[in-house]
Structure 1
Amino acid sequence: MDYFVKKSEKWSVEPEEILLDPQSAEKLDDSKFELPIEAKNFLILFWCVALALGLFAVRAGWMQVAGAQKYEAAAASNKTRNYPILARRGIVYDRDLRPLVENVPSFDLVTIPADLPRNKEERRELIARLAPIIDVPEALLAEQFARVKLAQINPALIMENVARDTALFLETKLDLFPGIEIKKNSYRLYADGAYFSHVMGYVGRVSENDLERDPGFSSIDYVGKSGVELSYDRSLRGSNGIIEREVDAISDVRKEKQVAKDAAGETVVLTIDGPLQKKLTDALARQLAATEGADGASAVALDPQTGEILALVSLPSYDNNIFGGLASRESYRDVRDDPKTPLFDRAVFGQYPPGSSIKPFIAAMALQEGVITSATTVVSTGSISVPNQYNPDIVYTFHDWKTGGHGLVNVIKALSESVNTFFYTVGGGHGDIAGLGISRIKEYLGLFGFGGATGVDLAGENNGTVPDPAWKKEVLREGWSLGDTYNTSIGQGNLLVTPLQLAQGYAALANGGTLFRPFVVKSVLDKDKRVIMENKSQAVRASFIDAKNLDTVRKGMRETVLSGTARPLSSLPVAVAGKTGTAQAGQNKTHAWFSSFAPYNDPSIVLVVLVENGGEGSVVSVPVAHEVLQWYFTRK
């Protein structure tokens, strides 16, 4: 009874009161305090435990046998770390072994993210201590650290080219900056940077793509980004050494040893004639500055007997030292955002209508195909009129540059005086002359290297364009007309060439009909100055124009200098042959071309000069060629 009283009053009930209460006992007579566990429950529990232990045993066995190497390597990596010893980049020389670049020692501030404080507040304090020492705003430095992944054990660049005094000071205080290190490195210092920048190119830090492409890169490595630095990057960059560090559980270094030695990059020797490169740049720069409305300029000098590039100029240029050393970021942005695009290599990437510069090639193919002979004459009256084939009342007129025409002309006079109407006739046909037609024009221009890559050992060259009916239909969604053939025959319309292509083609005219692949690197040398790679002259094709026909074309180009549009060159100490070009490039704008070779009887140089929107080739580009060739053949 006491139990039920206490329960109703919500008093506490003692266990014995349940058992000693007689009335409660009567009610509990048929109840049981304990029941036996069924046997099947024991069986289920047994098999669950057995299965779990079996799985653990299998897993442990697999880890010890099948995964032994993997986990052994993982355990080793927890106590050893590999860090790069950066290799010195190879030196580049001109053809006479004048150095064009050197490596200047520098210091980089890096972090080992895995060794940074785990606590966010401690990292903030570290940044606050470091910022004034390296003279970087704290907020900017915090942004740098925010980009790194804390689990990473490879160095991540925080600041390059740290001042020497700052680097030495930090090295004595590194215990105050956990996860921070000073790495020895070097930056490229280019001699006369603006003169050689488009040939040499520049280097930059590796990108994510670079790291994925080549596991041999370190995250603080430099890699070639353009020019020779890019094309010959594998030779120039060498191979990094490796430092192995043994660290304890709190990342303190217990042991350090060098397990792989760094190997400096190889030496690269260019075909470039350094003094000629400078002379050509200076002469072209003066003309560009003096020519109203001109936007840019380029020039190429080749050895026609080998294909070696003697000079490669693009203006405006830039100083490639802004990509390394202590140059400011503002300097880089100024160049990058300049509307005159100084980073753009006009000589290799630029595509322009060649104008009358194409006429020697049209003459050569017309002679080869028998469309004309050296004795064929055409009466130039100043224009050609062609009636519309569907409506004779509509007449199209194609004008010569000279009002009233040039009178009776043969191919030599047509070249020397740049007679448009002659080349309309031999290209598209008129009167009794059937003309080449666009199919043969395209075929032969391709043989001379137009419309395709030259194969130069510089990355990213453009192919130019040699149009035909299929091209026009695909690109412009228009049909081909006789006028298109006429325009192509005088280097206008949709015909586009690069200055390098034009120089390659003129070299074939000069040397007797062999098209050489142009190249800018002569050889690669090892550390003992032994030649381990040499670029030899490579003939792409030869003998596709008969010698007598090439001789006729060269006579026309020589007459251009003696009595035609390039007469100022007749005063030079060597005989020069050449062809001027004035190419329409928009409303009231023309590109000024001049292409030449010398000496006439035994050519050793081809020179192509282009001034964008410069006016007439005979007025603007011929003086540049005159100054450079005068210097070239009289220098000591």
Structure 2
Amino acid sequence: MSKKRIFVFKMIIVLFFIVLIVRAGQLQLYMGEYYYSLSEENRISERPIAAPRGRILDRNSNILVSNRLSYDLYILPNEIPEGITAHLLIDKISTLTALNKEFLMENYSQGDIDGSSAIILKRNISTEDMVVIKENYDGLPGILVNESSIRDYVYGNLAPHLFGYLGEIGVEDLRDLRKDGYNYSGGDIVGITGLEKEYETYLNGIDGIEQVEVNSHREQVKVLGIKPPVQGNDLVLNIDFELQEYTEKLLQENFLYLREIAETDPNLHTPTGAAAIVMNPNTGEILTLCSIPGYNLNDFAEGLSLSKYNDLMNDPLDPLVNRPIRATVPPGSIFKLVTGTAAIEYLGIDADTIFNDRTAKFYIPNWSRPYKNWKRYAEGKVRFTDAIASSNNIIFYQLGYRLYQEYHGEKLSETARYYGLGKKTGIDLPGEKSGLVPDEAWKRQRHNEGWYPGDSVNLSIGQGSLLTTPLQLIDMVSAIANGGTLYKPYLVDKIVDSDGNIVIDYKPVINSNLPFKKDTFRILREGMIKGANSNRGTSSRIFRDFPVKIAGKTGTAQTGTSRPNHGFFAGFAPAETPEIAVLVFLENGNSSAYTLPIAADIFEYYFGIPVEEEEEIIEDSSF
């Protein structure tokens, strides 16, 4: 080999080593930090530890809602090897299991794809899917199944509208919660209805993180650190579990019985729903809140099929509707307490004012159509409190017309609004409706008409365009019971953390102090006491000899000439020193008469009175 060739060969070798040294220097001096970081990211993986959701307990510490074991499916982006994509893994999972590919991809796309954190693909996968995925771990690098928990509604059919159910977070809720600073991701399970929704950010725990070192095969080498999860806060309710369970069972049995007898009686319509509320009239605490028909919350917790959900949505009885706060219907004769208030305050009526019902009919001057009483006979001369007791339509027509003559209907609508009608009570549940108190401004806007005498006459007995919720009515009656304080109804007594520390201790909130004389409430209470105890009282057949003195008002609300009536009872006890207020509502239940045995049983249970067989009441009435 010539010297020239040897020289060229040596130069090539020298140049090779120079390039090698320069490249090594570049990698170490200029890019060393980048590759060190990249190495660390590949070496360290963060795996989630699901936090249990807070529990829900009653006022006596009975656990009503808790959690039980489930399995969640995650994808770990930084543990996916080169040459394999998340799409490929998800496709493989959907092939191996019953999990929907599009659903998994949607949750993946809503996660932090470029980060090191795990992305939830599906919560509460079935045990069968969990086993299949774990058996195929070797072929699913970057896929993780972790133990977690799902809601356990201890008494699945109890108070579903009260507790509410959970579901996958929606796009709007995700955006709103993130905007408010909460750390939620696509696929997270959140409250959709009821207390679960209202107190979502308190009930929801904070997930923990396990930081692990993995080798080149993505196998765990050791645990580097753990940030433990923080369990969600518990809700302690004002609800009395035993009273709630008893009332709900009682309401359900009576509802089904009335539907059964309506099938064979051509004079009766079939009821479509029912509600019952028990409230402390001195604080606003809700002891019982029932809506019939209902559903099983554990069906939602375990994953309700689309067909079963559609069945619930399309059920003509609307089992998903929370009737105490969402049923907006005319209140019927319970509204006579509002008319009575306006009459005392603005017309100078007192307990002993005498009215005359001569013909069981009332005529507006120069109008030919008579307004009739629910009774078929005239009562003659009637004291005002006796008119409340017997729910005499004629007397209240007269009062409604007088209020129109002097105030053009303004004072009657105004009085209703003072009692909280036409607006939400503010109860700690989502979806409450406000109802409607009509007046001239509303009528002109809605119908382009003025306010006529007949509008005031209809309104005086709780008919016409007036719409109220059962909760508004028990709040109104509670204000009469306590002498003029309108409380905000509330379900949660306190929020407590996992160590038993009180996070929030709720106190009674006064929505308003009613601007009426104390004597006004005394007169109304006297009329309600007579209603439950005097011979002419509309509820005295049930309550006249009751061991505890009851004050009550019935209401049968007409919904049309050929449509069924709604039935109401609202009252409180003991009449002189009220402890509880009770409201029973039968949607399309024909008559308030059918509410009375239900209300009596609730009072008996609360006061520990031995329950006796009540006289069956099956009659038509419109009081």
Using structure 1 for the length normalisation, give the TM-score.
Answer: 0.80
Alignment of 1:415 with 2:403, yes or no, is no
Alignment of 1:628 with 2:566, yes or no, is no
Letter in 1 for 2:255: L
1:182-581 superposed matches below 5 A: 182-212=145-175, 213-214=177-178, 215-244=182-211, 257-258=224-225, 260-291=227-258, 292=262, 293-325=270-302, 328-380=305-357, 381-387=359-365, 392=366, 395-429=368-402, 434=405, 437-542=408-513, 544-562=515-533, 563=535, 564-567=537-540, 568-581=542-555
The Cα shift of 1:204 comes to 1.6
Between 142-151 and 210-219, the greater mean CA deviation after superposition:
142-151
The Cα shift of 1:336 comes to 2.7
SS of structure 2 residue aligned to 1:229:
helix
The Cα shift of 1:264 comes to 0.5
Letter in 1 for 2:150: Y
Alignment of 1:93 with 2:57, yes or no, is yes
Alignment of 1:152 with 2:113, yes or no, is yes
Letter in 1 for 2:564: K
- Check the 8 A contact 1:371/1:435 in 2, yes or no: no
Tell me, in whole angstroms, the C-alpha distance in 2 between the residues paired with 1:267 and 1:475: 46
Tell me, in whole angstroms, the C-alpha distance in 2 between the residues paired with 1:70 and 1:424: 86
Tell me, in whole angstroms, the C-alpha distance in 2 between the residues paired with 1:76 and 1:378: 91
Q: Name the counterpart of 1:607.
A: 582
- Check the 8 A contact 1:366/1:436 in 2, yes or no: no
SS of structure 2 residue aligned to 1:287:
helix
Tell me, in whole angstroms, the C-alpha distance in 1 between the residues paired with 2:189 and 2:89: 31
Tell me, in whole angstroms, the C-alpha distance in 1 between the residues paired with 2:518 and 2:34: 70
SS of structure 1 residue aligned to 2:363:
strand
The Cα shift of 1:146 comes to 4.9
The Cα shift of 1:544 comes to 2.1
The Cα shift of 1:75 comes to 9.8
Letter in 1 for 2:158: Y
The Cα shift of 1:72 comes to 11
Tell me, in whole angstroms, the C-alpha distance in 2 between the residues paired with 1:467 and 1:295: 26
Tell me, in whole angstroms, the C-alpha distance in 2 between the residues paired with 1:397 and 1:73: 89
Tell me, in whole angstroms, the C-alpha distance in 2 between the residues paired with 1:399 and 1:71: 91
Tell me, in whole angstroms, the C-alpha distance in 2 between the residues paired with 1:589 and 1:72: 77
Between 341-350 and 543-552, the greater mean CA deviation after superposition:
543-552
The Cα shift of 1:107 comes to 0.7
Tell me, in whole angstroms, the C-alpha distance in 2 between the residues paired with 1:549 and 1:122: 72
Letter in 1 for 2:152: L
Show CA shifts across 1:361-386 (max 9, x none).
Answer: 22123112244222222211212212
Letter in 2 for 1:339: P
Between 523-532 and 592-601, the greater mean CA deviation after superposition:
523-532
- Check the 8 A contact 1:504/1:516 in 2, yes or no: yes
Tell me, in whole angstroms, the C-alpha distance in 1 between the residues paired with 2:286 and 2:85: 59
| Structure 2 CA distance for partners of 1:173 and 1:599, relative to 1, 3 Å | same
SS of structure 2 residue aligned to 1:575:
coil
SS of structure 2 residue aligned to 1:533:
strand
SS of structure 2 residue aligned to 1:467:
coil
Tell me, in whole angstroms, the C-alpha distance in 2 between the residues paired with 1:530 and 1:101: 19
| Structure 2 CA distance for partners of 1:210 and 1:256, relative to 1, 3 Å | farther
Tell me, in whole angstroms, the C-alpha distance in 2 between the residues paired with 1:250 and 1:573: 78
Letter in 2 for 1:622: L
- Check the 8 A contact 1:597/1:606 in 2, yes or no: yes
- Check the 8 A contact 2:159/2:291 in 1, yes or no: no
Tell me, in whole angstroms, the C-alpha distance in 2 between the residues paired with 1:592 and 1:531: 41
Tell me, in whole angstroms, the C-alpha distance in 1 between the residues paired with 2:451 and 2:81: 71
SS of structure 2 residue aligned to 1:343:
coil
| Structure 2 CA distance for partners of 1:635 and 1:203, relative to 1, 3 Å | farther
The Cα shift of 1:168 comes to 5.1
- Check the 8 A contact 1:307/1:517 in 2, yes or no: yes
Show CA shifts across 1:406-444 (max 9, x none).
Answer: 2111211111111112111212218xx956642111222
Alignment of 1:591 with 2:566, yes or no, is yes
- Check the 8 A contact 1:427/1:435 in 2, yes or no: no
| Structure 2 CA distance for partners of 1:443 and 1:131, relative to 1, 3 Å | same
| Structure 2 CA distance for partners of 1:284 and 1:141, relative to 1, 3 Å | closer
SS of structure 2 residue aligned to 1:184:
strand
Tell me, in whole angstroms, the C-alpha distance in 2 between the residues paired with 1:606 and 1:122: 59
The Cα shift of 1:83 comes to 4.5
Tell me, in whole angstroms, the C-alpha distance in 1 between the residues paired with 2:186 and 2:231: 18
Report sequence identity in percent.
Answer: 32
- Check the 8 A contact 1:371/1:426 in 2, yes or no: no
Unaligned runs of 5+ in 2: 1-29, 263-269, 611-623
Show CA shifts across 1:163-208 (max 9, x none).
Answer: 4475356435412222321022111011222221111111222233
Using structure 2 for the length normalisation, give the TM-score.
Answer: 0.82
Unaligned runs of 5+ in 1: 1-63
* RMSD (Å) for aligned C-alpha atoms: 3.1
Q: Name the counterpart of 1:15.
A: none
The count of corresponding residues between Structure 1 and Structure 2 is: 556
- Check the 8 A contact 1:426/1:435 in 2, yes or no: no
Tell me, in whole angstroms, the C-alpha distance in 2 between the residues paired with 1:75 and 1:427: 83
Q: Name the counterpart of 2:614.
A: none
- Check the 8 A contact 1:322/1:332 in 2, yes or no: no
The Cα shift of 1:106 comes to 0.7
Tell me, in whole angstroms, the C-alpha distance in 2 between the residues paired with 1:363 and 1:125: 71
The Cα shift of 1:540 comes to 2.1
Letter in 1 for 2:434: N
Q: Name the counterpart of 1:176.
A: 139
Q: Name the counterpart of 1:111.
A: 75
- Check the 8 A contact 1:347/1:498 in 2, yes or no: yes
| Structure 2 CA distance for partners of 1:570 and 1:170, relative to 1, 3 Å | same
The Cα shift of 1:239 comes to 1.5
The Cα shift of 1:256 comes to 5.3
- Check the 8 A contact 2:419/2:514 in 1, yes or no: no
Tell me, in whole angstroms, the C-alpha distance in 1 between the residues paired with 2:203 and 2:275: 27
